[in-house]
Amino acid sequence: MEKFIDIITSEKVYLPIVYILIGIILNIILGKIVNKFTCKHKSSSGKDKRKDTIINLGKNIFKYLILIFVVLGILNLYGVDTTSIIASLGVFAAVIGLAFQDIIKDFLAGVTIIFDNKYAVGDTIEINGFMGTVISLGLRTTKIKSASGEIKCIGNASFSEVVNYNLADTDLFIKLNVAYDTDIDKLEKVLLDLKDDVLAIEDVKDYNLLGIDELGSSSIVYMIEVKCKAMAQYAIKRKIFRIVKDKFDVENIKIPFTTIEVNVRK
């Protein structure tokens, strides 16, 4: 009986159990800390799912680090020289780091891009002078498609600055030329009547009259402001011009145009 008690009270018996319990507790605590900081996180888009992947990856890294320390502690109790094992792991990690340093840089840069929300799939961005729409955002590379169809694959660590055209709405300023004999009060009333039609255009957020912007050589230049979704302003501008032209024709508001008078001498 005394031998049994000596065995179960031996450090080689109860300490491994203590190490394992400590490892389990640490894993639970770290899991709760991560969950606390990410409790508001939802996987409603592809971008957020990537965040979930990174969070789970971080949890697994912590779990395996704890497991390694527990195993090394238990081996040390049984007289195994863990110093050489740690040194070997350090050398192995250094070799791996040197061999895959570019991949690691791209990976860490990808993690930063995703968590900082620098851009997402569908955004129009400009990187290193190349402008296009993001069609793929990975942990290592970003693929951008230009307006003319070229696709460029860029390593996430190969650039430090990025211009994102989708982070804020665009202010679209439209200049309208009208004849000098135009009644400005009538013009503004007509333009105000167009507000509902303009706001009905997809991606338009707001519409305002700014007033006379210029007294040109042959026309008055009146300016309106339209707030719209970024990169949608080109299509919106064309639609607004069509609405304005149709309304001006109905209200008999003249848009000046250049004429050439030719005199033929006999």
pLDDT digits (tens, 9 = 90+) for 136-178: 877 778 889 988 888 988 888 888 788 888 877 889 999 999 9
C-alpha triplet 239, 243, 247: angle, nearest 5°: 170
Residue 109 lies in a domain: no
Write out pLDDT tens, residues 33-66.
767 765 554 444 444 555 665 666 667 677 878 8
Helices 46-77 and 82-99, packing angle to 10 deg: 150
Q: Does 197 lie in the same domain as 135?
A: no
CATH number, domain with residue 56: 1.10.287
pLDDT at 167: 78
- Considering the chain, what percentage of its residues have pLDDT values greater than 70? 75
Residues 18 and 89 in one domain: yes
**Average model confidence (pLDDT) across the chain:** 79
Q: What is the pLDDT of residue 102?
A: 66
**Domains held by the chain: number:** 3
Assigned domain for 93 exists: yes
**What gap in Å lies between CA 63 and CA 55, rounded to an integer?**
12
pLDDT at 79: 75
Structure tokens at 185: 């009060």
Q: Name the residue with higher pLDDT: 262 or 117.
A: 117
Q: How confident is the model at residue 243 (pLDDT cuts 50, 70, 90)?
A: very high
**Same structural domain, 130 and 145:** yes
Q: Which pLDDT belongs to residue 46?
A: 44
pTM of this structure: 0.54
Q: Are residues 95 and 10 in the same domain?
A: yes
Question: What residue numbers bound the domain in which 208 lies?
Answer: 170-251
Q: Is the residue at 265 inside a domain?
A: no
Residue 20 lies in a domain: yes
